[in-house]
Amino acid sequence: MVPILSKPSSAAPTSIFYITLGALVTVWSVIWYVYLRNNATSNQVVHYLCYGFLGTGLVLLGIGLALGPLSRMARHAELPPTEVSPQATSQPEPASTNTTVANRA
């Protein structure tokens, strides 16, 4: 069997991975942001790191959500072709090669 037909697209597991990772990073970044908001620090680098992780989580979440429909389209495109019906493959028979010649008299 052709390798592309035997191995399904890996877009669906990749989409789930991106959605999960993006959601986890976003949730923990929001928790960290709330902590930083309640406990003020004088170091601004920590805030930039928090914003960076929050943005990264949202981007990963967006990529995962965009890959979902793409994986469905890829699955449909990777399906093997439908079987050809016998009627579609039958060709009209050529003219007979054994034609009788009429008597010329």
Residues 24, 56: Cα–Cα separation, whole Å: 11
Q: If the chain, 105 residues long, is cut into consecutive pieces of 10 residues, what is the mean pLDDT of each piece?
A: 61 85 95 91 89 94 86 70 61 59 57
- pLDDT at residue 91, rounded to an integer: 61
Residues 6+ apart with CB under 8 A from 75: 8, 9, 11, 12
> What are the C-alpha distances in Å from 43 to residues 3, 29, 49?
54, 17, 11
Q: What is the DSSP letter of 84?
A: P
**What pTM value is reported for the model?**
0.62
Residues 75, 37: Cα–Cα separation, whole Å: 45
